[in-house]
Structure 1
Amino acid sequence: MSKLSPPSTQRSRRGTILLAVIVIALIAAAVSHLITKPAPRRATPAQVVSVAKAITGDMPEVMNELGTVTPVATVTVLPQLSGFLTEVGYREGQDVQKGQFLAQIDPRQYLIGKQQAQAQLAKDLATLAQARSDLARYTQLFKQKSIAEQTYANQRFTVQQDEAAVQADKASIAQYDLDLDYCRITAPVSGRVGLRLVDPGNYVSTSTTTGIAVITTIKPTTVEFTVPQNALARVIERFNSGDKLPVTAYNSDNTKKIATGTLYAIGNQMATSTGTVMLRAHFDNDDEALFPNEFVNVQLRVDTLKNTVLVPTPAVQSGAPGNYVYVVNANNTVTLTKVTPGASDGRLTAILAGLKAGDRVVTDGLDRLSDGASVRAAGAAPPAGQGASNAAQQAAGNAQG
């Protein structure tokens, strides 16, 4: 016969089990709530950007081209006759003036030739004098009908022949004088002499192609450059109006201004292969900053835009919408605005349409911007409450973790 538990003991055991089940259920519900509870949504902070105001001012319309320094004159001094070079009267790299002595060719053979021509002239002059004397006597005899008309006519022809011989002798002497002048070689233009091409003692002739020296004009000089055909009409319009279009030359790195000149000539043909036309600008080059055949960067100022809207160049962007800027609104949001840019000097860009003076545009931090995004100017304090809100969100996140 089994021994039964008292009724009070059984009720106590069932109460303990029920309590444990309730506690486990509450713990499971709490864990499920914590796991499935969504994380608090954080507000997107305003992006920090650089902002500048659109202003009004003048903007020069400048064309940037690549040019070549082209001397006004480059002359290769060639001998005009043959002979031994006896003297060189210049230093390499020397500046010379027009007519200055450069070199000497042995003149002795031409002096001898001139003396022979002078002797022949004296002989022919004597012959001419005798013929004229005979003609005068024959004239009197012909008037007296003492000689035949043929004899008189022959004497007249003899005088004419002797006169022609005298003229030939004088021309021969003039030729020798010219040869003697050619023996003394002088500078045909003012400029700078290059390196020596021939030394004294060499035999030179008219077939020499290298020449005695090469003279290049340094001051003044010119710069040749090209402009595209779609910009040519504007240049010709200003040029034909009589305006002096300023041209500025920069070094090959485009970092240093070298010289300033003016446009003075426009080519008469368009290059069909490139669609460009050649222009030439004049430079005084007193400081000799421009060197012959040097490559330079050229800026041709065609016109100046007066009282136009100007913005920093980095503010103007190009993309799928075209040319645009981000305009900062009063509520610190941005609006993508299409614009029509004009001339630029690298630092500022003229806006022909789409903006007005006083508009605020974003100049830095545009890579992650979109239309309607919130922004904050660099250096400005965050809006009131934004710092506390961020701190509260951080604290909530820490508590959740």
Structure 2
Amino acid sequence: MNVETRFAGDAAPMSEFEEEERRRDRRRRIIIIATILGALVIAAAYFMFQGGAGEGAGAAAGEDGPARVLPTVTVIVPGSQSISNTISASGTLDARRPMPVGVAGEGGQIARVMVDAGDWVGRGQVLATIESSVQSQQVGGASAQLEVARANLALAQANLDRSLQLVERGFISQADIDRLTATRDAERARVNVAGAQLNELRARAGRLAIRAPAAGLVLTRNAEPGQVVSAGSGALFMLAQGGEMEMNARVSESDLRGMSVGQQATIIPVGTADRFEGQVWQLSPTIDAQSRQGTASVALSYQEGLRPGGFATAEIISGSIDAPMLPESAVQSDSAGNYVYVINEDNIVERRDVTIGTVGSAGITIREGLAGDERVVRSAGAFLNPGDEVIPQRMSQEDES
């Protein structure tokens, strides 16, 4: 009994010691885990701002070592280069010289239609004919009247010639000669009248053939055989003179002011990747009071992909300008407009409002706001605020290219 009591008394202190050791182990593990997590958070924040030594790294450290951790940002100095000033606009395609063709004469029933939309026609080519049986009979009757008048003129001239031979012998008086001369002249006038009437009827009959006033492309056809038409029926055909097209681009008032006739333009119809070259041939002399826009008309030679009435975009080259160019990642925007972050001489972030120009695969042209010698934050602008101090690291020429 004594032995068992002694062993039981010794076992109680051992259990409390082990429990204390376990508690100490748990605290040590918690401290180690917290330390590791803290180190990971610091490392993540460092690499988020592209950590590394760069320009002005010494500004982040004191004489006795680093005083605080500053983010490192990549900057570029864009410089200034000659860039083509391209104006982008949209508008519609149309015939440059549209020619509506309708009935020029009395009209009637269409007998035949010789062309269709999309056909090329020459000057004077017959597009359609109107039934002309009545006009043909009228022309035939007028032609016969002309022959009668010519026969009467020949008879009157013969009578006058015979009388002139007899007047010398005293058989015919001078009064008879005057009467015969007047008869001859009257018959000659009747010949002229009959000829004019015949020509008029022939011209009327000829106008029953609807002809192309000039060479060009047939855009629309509104005529069918059997259709009754007249001078008030409107245009039966619409032609594009010479097949020439144009794109009427709507441009802003400021862009229109800097444009001139003869500038090159590239037209891209909507829904296609086709590009057609043309040049500005006319600028609108007025500005729309509501939209504050004007029209720049771009002349185009006919090509199959150009269809009047279609929508297209235009890229009009209006000279060149010297301006900086930045990658898209450097330019940001908000409700106040477009801006970039610039690092000043004290390595402090400053906001700089800019006006952008053309946007292309090479980058964004900055028309206003930068001189080109500033240190511009290339990326990570979303993590910065004006007034932040950073360590700028300039991108090398190889990286920029």
User: What's the TM-score bracket when you normalise by the shorter of the two chains?
Assistant: 0.5 to 0.7
Mapped partners of 1:74, 1:176: distance in 2: 31
Residues 50 and 117 from structure 1, CA distance in 2 versus in 1: closer, same or farther, beyond 3 angstroms? farther
Mapped partners of 2:188, 2:288: distance in 1: 59
Residue 147 (str. 1) matches residue 173 (str. 2)? yes
Aligned with 1:345: secondary structure?
strand
Aligned with 1:371: secondary structure?
coil
Aligned to 1:295: 311
Residue 72 (str. 1) matches residue 88 (str. 2)? no
Aligned to 2:364: 348
Contact 1:54-1:311 at 8 Å conserved across structures? yes
Aligned to 1:128: 153
Mapped partners of 1:362, 1:248: distance in 2: 34
Q: What 5-or-longer segments of structure 1 have no aligned partner?
A: 1-39, 381-401
| Residue type at the aligned position of 2:316 | L
Mapped partners of 1:143, 1:276: distance in 2: 91
Aligned to 2:284: 267
Count the aligned residue pairs. 326
| Residue type at the aligned position of 1:121 | L
TM-superposed CA distance for 1:261, in Å, is 0.7
**Counterparts in 2 of 1:170-181, with a 5 A limit?**
170-181=195-206
Residue 315 (str. 1) matches residue 339 (str. 2)? no
Bigger shift: residues 297-306 or 83-92: 83-92
TM-superposed CA distance for 1:68, in Å, is 1.5
Residue 246 (str. 1) matches residue 255 (str. 2)? no
User: Which residue of 217, 224, 233 corresponds with 1:208?
Assistant: 233
Aligned with 2:233: secondary structure?
coil
User: Which residue of 137, 142, 154 corresponds with 1:117?
Assistant: 142
Contact 2:351-2:386 at 8 Å conserved across structures? no
Contact 1:313-1:349 at 8 Å conserved across structures? no
Q: How big is each residue's C-alpha offset from its partner over 1:262-309, in whole Å with a ceiling of 9 and x where there is no partner?
A: 0112234444554444331111243x2221011222222211114x32
Residues 197 and 77 from structure 1, CA distance in 2 versus in 1: closer, same or farther, beyond 3 angstroms? same
Aligned to 1:361: 376
Aligned with 2:371: secondary structure?
coil
Contact 1:86-1:106 at 8 Å conserved across structures? yes
| Residue type at the aligned position of 2:244 | P
Mapped partners of 1:142, 1:63: distance in 2: 93
User: Which residue of 325, 328, 341 corresponds with 2:340?
Assistant: 325
Mapped partners of 1:216, 1:45: distance in 2: 67
Q: What 5-or-longer segments of structure 2 have no aligned partner?
A: 1-37, 50-72, 396-401
User: Which residue of 65, 75, 86 corresponds with 1:62?
Assistant: 86
Residues 277 and 128 from structure 1, CA distance in 2 versus in 1: closer, same or farther, beyond 3 angstroms? farther
Contact 1:259-1:285 at 8 Å conserved across structures? no
Contact 2:332-2:339 at 8 Å conserved across structures? yes
Contact 1:313-1:344 at 8 Å conserved across structures? no
- Percent identity, aligned pairs only, is 21
Bigger shift: residues 140-149 or 366-375: 140-149
Q: TM-score of the superposition, structure 2-length normalised?
A: 0.66
Residues 329 and 208 from structure 1, CA distance in 2 versus in 1: closer, same or farther, beyond 3 angstroms? closer
Contact 1:322-1:338 at 8 Å conserved across structures? no
User: Which residue of 338, 342, 346 corresponds with 2:352?
Assistant: 338
Mapped partners of 1:138, 1:230: distance in 2: 89
Q: TM-score of the superposition, structure 1-length normalised?
A: 0.66
| Residue type at the aligned position of 1:224 | N
